[in-house]
Structure 1
Amino acid sequence: MAIYLVGDVQGCYVELQQVLSQAGFEAGNDELWLTGDLVARGPDSLKTLRFLQSLGNSAKPVLGNHDLHLLAIWHGLQTPHPKDYLNALLEAPDAAELIDWLAAQPLLRKLPNANAYMTHAGLAPQWDIDTALIQAEFVHACIRGNNRQYWLQNMYGNEPCNWEMATTELEKFRYSVNALTRMRYCTETGDLEFSHKEHPQHNPDNSLKPWFDLDESLTDSEWVIGHWATLEGECPHPNIYALDTGCVWGGDMTLLRWEDKKRFRVASTRTARH
């Protein structure tokens, strides 16, 4: 058995199948770990979710911000954006089953036999790993539970951006969602910041730092992330495996075989979009 990890699919079903074929992925034997943002912006979110659900326990995704947004749309809390191409999924006869499958997925996974973890965005500098595990499980319980709509309705917003300012359950929930699925840059004190997504070499604000430049937990742990397409799969921190290479924007789909760290890439079938 091999473990393969893939960056943000975002409904790019054709490229996902191409990169799995290139790597020799064997359904039923190998595992496919996904960094989140399974849906939206690409043309085939419905085919993507149906395929991943068909893999059973071999598919091991975490949720990204687009996945959580889809859940909010399904429950009537948000309006779909035309560029998300979600109508086929929302109108499918098995949509409710696929949504329940998506809502059952966690926001953090630990890779077997290693001090290595996968989240969509990363690890908040104001957290240690134990806190991240606890908060990810808290959000997971909220999203898959009976009060899902309440939590999704109150998910949106940038505050609190500092973990110490999160005192209520709702504030801790929102901070945790933002840290696990939306974070890229932080202030020098570790506060979350959401207005910048440039590559660190092109960031115009010197007061902001990539989260991984501030995170002491990375000294002896490894993290697999998606979300930050402008990194183009190359993170300057040696313990970070960045796998979102912007397939949906005309870049590549990137797959990492965990055992030997070999990467497989296929080009997008779309022209670059901005």
Structure 2
Amino acid sequence: MATYIVGDIQGCYDELQQLLALANFDSNKDELWLAGDLVARGNQSLETLRFVKGLGDSAKVILGNHDLHLLAIWQGIHLAKSNDKLDVLLNAPDCDELLNWLRLQPLMLRHPEFDFVMVHAGISPQWTIKQAEQLALEVEAELHSSHFKTLLKNMYGNHPNNWSEAQQGDERLRFIINVFTRMRYCFLDGSLEFKNKLGPAETDSSIMKPWFELDSVDQSSPILFGHWAALLGKVNKQGIYGLDTGCVWGNSLTMLRWQDKKHFSFACTLLPIK
């Protein structure tokens, strides 16, 4: 059995199928771990969700920011944008079934054998990995409850951007969600910076750094993440693996086979989005 971890698919279903074929993925014996953002921007979000849900226990999924935003659109909290290309999914006869399934997926997973952890954006330098696991469960409990719409409505915003164990209610849940699904850079004290989407080479490291470059990051387990297309998977820190290589932006979809650390990549077949 092989364990594969793939970065942000974002509706690039055809590329996903080509990538799985390239790696000889066998759903009867292999595992596919998906680092969030299954949907939006690509043309085939519906096909992607149907396929991943259909893998059953062979697929291990976490939620990304686009997945959470899709749930908010589904619940009437926000309107869909045309460039997210979600109309086919939202009008599908099995939309409610698919999105109720998506709603029940976690924010963070740990592999029971290899002990790596997978998140969408990252783990706060202000947390330990064990603390992050407990905080993820707090959000998941709300998202899995009958009042999940309240969480989706209140998750938007950039404040607070600094962690305090004393935080409660919406602010606490919003900060946790922002770490797991939106974080890229942190200021040197570990607080979150939301505006910068550039690569590290274009950023003043005396002001802010990629979250994984801060010395306080807990590396007691390997960390795998997606979300940050500008990195193109280049993370110069042992034990940290970036998997988003910007397929939907005209680059490629990338997958890591954990057992031998081999990377598989398949180039985008569509014109990049603008």
TM class by shorter-chain length?
over 0.9
1:200: how far off?
0.5
Match of 2:169 in 1: 169
What is the total number of aligned residue pairs between the two structures?
Answer: 274
Worse-superposed segment, 165-174 or 56-65: 165-174
Correspondence 1:1-274 to 2 at 5 A = 1-164=1-164, 167-204=167-204, 206-274=206-274
1:165 Cα deviation after fit: 7.4
The 1:165/1:176 distance shift into structure 2, 3 A limit, reads same
* CA-CA distance at 1:234 after TM superposition: 1.1
Following superposition, the deviation at residue 45 of structure 1 comes to: 0.2
Query: Which deviates more, 195-204 or 36-45?
Result: 195-204
Instruction: Using the aligned pairs only, state the percent identity.
Output: 50
TM-score by length of 1: 0.97
SS in 2 for 1:163: coil
Shift of the alpha carbon at 1:216? 3.0
Specify every segment of 5 or more residues in structure 1 that has no aligned partner in the other structure, as ranges: none
Could you say what secondary structure the match of 1:69 adopts? Answer: helix
2:173 and 2:223 mapped to 1: Cα distance?
22
Larger CA deviation: 109-118 vs 232-241: 109-118
2: CA distance, partners of 1:140 / 1:220: 23
> Aligned partner of 2:71: which letter?
L
State the superposition RMSD in angstroms. Answer: 1.3
The structural deviation recorded for 1:155 is 0.4
- Alpha-carbon distance in 2 for matches of 1:218, 1:153: 31
User: 1:168-189 deviations in whole A, cap 9, x for unaligned?
Assistant: 1211100000000000001110
Tell me the distance in 1 between the aligned counterparts of 2:127 and 2:259: 28
- Give the C-alpha shift of residue 220 in structure 1: 3.0
CA distance in 1, matches of 2:20, 2:137: 29
Take 1:38 and 1:151, find their aligned partners in 2: how far apart are those partners?
Answer: 20
Offset at 1:10? 0.2
2:164 counterpart SS class: helix
Q: Are the structure 2 counterparts of residues 267 and 166 from structure 1 closer, same or farther at C-alpha, using a change threshold of 3 Å?
A: farther
Q: Distance in 2 between matches of 1:161 and 1:127?
A: 14
Compare 63-72 and 24-33 and name the one that shifted more: 24-33
Cα contact 2:127–2:218 (8 A) shared by 1: no
Letter in 1 for 2:99: I
